[in-house]
């Protein structure tokens, strides 16, 4: 185990030495999405909602979990003959809902791609353990080393929503590499020091779509638990300068594709960084954030974030 892994384990253990109350996913009716100009339709589901964006030769089906569970997104890229799933939710029950939806499209699932370590993007991968699962090498190593730990600490609050075992990505993706599937090209980039220490973004050049995942949130509270304020802002500034995409898909929040969400995220991060430097408790930070952003979704992420920013001693 290398020094970075030891540091990460120490960081997580310190932050989560107390009770980790993530809030079990509720059995709720689907919440409607606002939708953007490119969205062709919405599919209501038992737990979440699916926004469908159609292109000439492909479609992207974007699942969003309810507000209570962080408005987490999973994307199904539909090519003429196959399906590619990006990320897998925090709940295996939500993962099963996505799996049933994917099977309703009557095309084989070619692969699943996991963007980063955080459990809300790979717990649900358990429902796709029969297909090849791709990730960065760093993400594979992080899940292999910390996956059991995340499962154990989540069981008290999440119960049946937690996978019985970790699913480790079995195929690696290199930074700057690409895959072409049924004429659809996916270009991969390794992003560091942002919402997570390591994460993957996926660019579809023919469709001019960037699947940013947790590099970007839309109308949701950002999870700042890693404290990578400066690094995350630097990555977002580079994203803002990138004019190659017309639609950007976030890791949390509505599938509207607005570039305004990049500026919103930069302002949010600057605000939280400044307040964090001045307060002494998580309650103070949470109060300031909720006062400044009363309409933002996924407030539960602030509580989880504060377990990391203010670890119990």
pLDDT grade for 44, boundaries at 50, 70 and 90: confident
Helix (H, G, I), strand (E, B) or coil at 86: strand
For the domain spanning 10-309, the CATH number is: 3.60.15.10
The mean pLDDT value for 4-15 works out to: 42
pLDDT value of residue 31:
28
Query: Percentage of the chain with pLDDT > 90?
Result: 82
pLDDT tens per residue, range 276-313: 999 999 999 999 999 999 999 999 999 999 999 999 87
| pLDDT at position 312 | 84
pLDDT band of residue 40 (cuts 50, 70, 90) is low
Residue, of 80 and 17, whose pLDDT is higher: 80
Collapsing DSSP states into helix, strand and coil, what is residue 138?
A: helix
Which pTM was predicted?
Answer: 0.89
Contacts of 278 (CB under 8 A, 6+ apart): none
pLDDT band (50, 70, 90) for residue 115: very high
Neighbours of 145 (CB within 10 A): 17
* The two structure tokens encoding residue 5: 């892994």
Q: What is the pLDDT of residues 227-265, one digit of tens each?
A: 999 999 999 999 999 999 999 999 999 887 678 999 999
Domain ranges of the chain: 10-309
* pLDDT tens sequence across 65-104: 999 899 999 999 999 999 999 999 999 999 999 999 999 9
pLDDT band at 5 (very low <50, low <70, confident <90, very high): very low
Report pLDDT digits (tens) over 47-66. 999 999 999 999 999 999 99
Query: Over 90: is that where the pLDDT of 30 sits?
Result: no
Closest CA to 209 of 190, 185, 193, 192: 185
Is the pLDDT at 26 greater than 50, yes or no? no
Say whether pLDDT at 32 is over 50.
Answer: no
Q: Going by C-beta distance under 8 Å and a sequence separation of 6 or more, which residues neighbour residue 93?
A: 25, 47, 160, 161
* CA count, 13 A, side-chain hemisphere, 218: 25
* DSSP assignment string, 229-258: HHHHHHHHHHHHH--S-SEEEEEEE-----
């Amino acid at each position: 185990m290398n020094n970075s892994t030891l540091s990460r384990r120490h960081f997580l253990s310190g932050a989560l030495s107390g009770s980790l109350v993530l809030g079990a996913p509720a059995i709720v009716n689907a919440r409607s999405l606002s939708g953007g100009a490119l969205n062709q339709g919405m599919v209501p589901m038992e737990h979440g909602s699916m926004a469908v964006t159609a292109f000439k030769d492909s479609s992207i089906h974007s699942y969003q979990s309810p507000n209570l569970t962080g408005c987490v997104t999973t994307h199904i890229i539909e090519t003429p003959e196959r399906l590619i799933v990006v990320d897998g939710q925090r709940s295996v029950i939500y993962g099963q809902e996505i799996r049933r939806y994917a099977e309703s499209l009557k095309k084989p699932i070619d692969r699943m791609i996991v963007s980063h370590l955080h459990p809300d993007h790979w717990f649900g991968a358990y429902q796709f353990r029969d297909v090849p699962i791709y990730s960065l090498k760093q993400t594979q190593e992080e899940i292999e080393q910390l996956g059991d730990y995340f499962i154990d600490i989540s069981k008290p609050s999440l119960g049946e929503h937690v996978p019985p075992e970790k699913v480790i990505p079995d195929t690696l993706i290199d930074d700057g590499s690409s895959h072409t599937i049924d004429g659809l090209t996916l270009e991969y980039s390794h992003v560091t020091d942002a919402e997570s220490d390591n994460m993957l973004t996926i660019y579809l050049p023919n469709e001019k779509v960037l699947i940013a995942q947790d590099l970007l949130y839309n109308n949701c509270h950002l999870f700042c638990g890693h404290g990578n304020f400066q690094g995350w802002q630097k990555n977002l500034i580079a994203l803002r300068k990138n004019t190659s995409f017309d639609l950007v898909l976030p890791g949390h929040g509505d599938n509207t594709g607005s570039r305004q969400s990049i500026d919103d995220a930069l302002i949010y991060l600057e605000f939280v960084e400044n307040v964090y430097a001045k307060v002494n408790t998580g309650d103070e930070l949470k109060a300031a954030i909720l006062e400044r952003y009363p309409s933002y979704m996924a407030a539960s992420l602030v509580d989880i974030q504060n377990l990391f920013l203010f670890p119990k001693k």
